[in-house]
Amino acid sequence: MAGIYVHIPFCKQKCSYCDFHFSTTFEKYRKQMIDAICKEIELRAPLFLSNEPINTIYFGGGTPSILHQHELHQILSTIHTYTNSHKVEEITLEANPDDITDENLDGWKQEGINRLSIGVQSFREQDLQWMNRAHTVNEGKNALLLAQKHGFDNLTVDLIYGLPNLSNKEWTNHIQRLIELKIPHISAYCLTVEKKTALHKMVQHHELKMPDDEIQAQQFEILLNTLEKAGYEQYEISNFSFPEHHSKHNSNYWKNENYLGIGPSAHSYDGKNRYWNFANNSRYIQSIEQNSQHYELEQLTPENRFNELLLTGLRTKWGVNKSILSSISTLTTDFNTKLNDFIFTKDIEMNENEQFYLTTKGKLKADYIASELFV
C-alpha cells in the first residue's frame, strides 16, 4: 500500500529553529500553488502509483492548517479522482494550535481528516517566544482540548526537548501534561541547531545557550521512561503511541513502502528511485504550469538502498533483518565485525531470525551506529 504526502509550503511566521521549506508570502501565490499541487497530482499520480491502492494521505509543511476548507477540498477531491483511494484509512493534517478553531475543526471533519498532528512544541512561554511560534502556551493547551471535544481522538502532538534552560523537572511536566490528556501519539524531538536559522545566530551571539549533550541524553531517557510507564510504546526513536495508534503514514516510510510526495520540496520513492521536487515555490509552480520536469531524480544504487534500510530500520522497533540486507548487497567482513561489536557492547540485540534492533543504550546514538554499519 502506498501513501501520498502533500507539502503545503507556507507559514504565518518563521520559527527560529526551522529549516524546512516554506515561505510566509502565502497570499501572493495562494491560488497558483493550490492549482499547481492539484495539477501535479493529476499528472503524476496515475503513472507513479499505477492504480496501487493508497492507505494514507498526509498534509505536512509548512503549515497545512493555514488552508481554507475549499482548498483542502480541492486537493482531496483531486487525489480521490486520480488515485485508487478506496482503502484510505488515515488522513493526517499538521495543524498549529492557533489554527485550531471550532470552524476549522468542523471543516476538517467534513473533508475526512481523521488524524491531527498538533505542533505544541513546549509548555513554557519563554520557549515559544524565542522559537517565534505563532501561539501561546494557553493556545496550545486549549487546542488539544478543543480538538478532543470535536471528536478528534486520533491526535499526535509534537514536543521538543533539549531546550536552553529547560530543567529535567520541567521536561517531565511537559510529558505529563500529554499523558493526563490521554494523547494517543507523541512525537518528541531533540532541539538541533541548523545552520542559516535564527536560532543558529542566537546561539552564536550568546543570546541562548544550548544544553550540553549529557542533559539532552538525560531528557531522552526521561522521555522513554515516563512514556513507557504510562503505557506508550516507542515504535520509532522519536515516536511513541498507545497500541493501535502508530502513524500508518510514517510507518509506511519506515517499512520501505512506496510514497508519492506532492508540492515543492516533497520527496517520492518508488522502491528504485528517489524524486526531489524543486524546493522553490515559483520554480515549482512555473515548471508544473509549463509541463516541464519539476523534480530531480536519484537512481538508488544497492549501496544507497542498503544504507537507507539500515538508517530507517534501526530507528524502529521492527529493526533490520540481516538476510534482507544481504539480498541487497553483500555483507562485508567489516560489517559483520562491527555488528558483533555493537552486540558485545549491548547497543544492539539480535534474535534467532537475525533481526537486529537497538537497545535503549543504542538508541542514544542511533545515527552513529547506522553510519558505522553503512557500506
Residues found near ligand SF4 in the complex (CB under 6 A): 11, 14-15, 18, 20, 22, 61-63, 96, 119
* Three-class secondary structure of residue 137 per DSSP: helix
Residue with smaller CB distance to ligand SF4, 15 or 339? 15
Min separation Cβ 131 and ligand SF4, Å: 8
Of 133, 130, 136, nearest to 199 by C-alpha is 130
* Three-class secondary structure of residue 6 per DSSP: strand
Measured from the Cβ of residue 81, the count of other Cβ atoms closer than 10 Å reads 13
Min separation Cβ 282 and ligand SF4, Å: 19
Residue with smaller CB distance to ligand SF4, 144 or 224? 144
Min separation Cβ 121 and ligand SF4, Å: 8
Distance set, CA 177 to CA 87, 104, 134 (Å)? 34, 24, 21
Beta bridge pairs of residue 56:
3, 90
Min separation Cβ 101 and ligand SF4, Å: 17
The angle formed by the CA atoms of residues 21, 129 and 145, to the nearest 5 degrees, is: 85
Min separation Cβ 75 and ligand SF4, Å: 18
Contact (Cβ atoms closer than 8 angstroms) between residue 114 and residue 90: yes
Min separation Cβ 360 and ligand SF4, Å: 28
Residue with smaller CB distance to ligand SF4, 99 or 111? 99
The angle formed by the CA atoms of residues 142, 145 and 150, to the nearest 5 degrees, is: 120
Min separation Cβ 92 and ligand SF4, Å: 15
- Separation CA 222–CA 195 (nearest Å): 28
Min separation Cβ 10 and ligand SF4, Å: 8
Residue with smaller CB distance to ligand SF4, 71 or 347? 71
Residue with smaller CB distance to ligand SF4, 155 or 199? 199
User: What are the start-end ranges of the H helices in 56-97?
Assistant: 69-82
Residue with smaller CB distance to ligand SF4, 13 or 326? 13
Which burial class, exposed, middle or buried, applies to 78 when counting CB atoms under 10 A from its CB (0-12, 13-18, 19+)?
Answer: buried
- Separation CA 365–CA 343 (nearest Å): 14
* Three-class secondary structure of residue 246 per DSSP: coil
Residue with smaller CB distance to ligand SF4, 61 or 261? 61
Interacting residues of 42 by C-beta distance below 8 A, sequence separation 6+: 78, 81, 82
Residue with smaller CB distance to ligand SF4, 179 or 193? 193
Min separation Cβ 145 and ligand SF4, Å: 21
Of 24, 34, 28, 108, nearest to 62 by C-alpha is 24
Any long-range contacts for 249-253 (C-beta under 8 Å, 24+ apart)?
Answer: 249/3, 249/5, 249/56, 249/57, 249/58, 249/90, 249/92, 252/1, 252/2, 252/3, 252/55, 252/56, 253/3, 253/312
Min separation Cβ 128 and ligand SF4, Å: 11
Residue with smaller CB distance to ligand SF4, 45 or 113? 113
Of 320, 303, 195, nearest to 256 by C-alpha is 320
Residue with smaller CB distance to ligand SF4, 143 or 328? 143
- Separation CA 122–CA 202 (nearest Å): 19
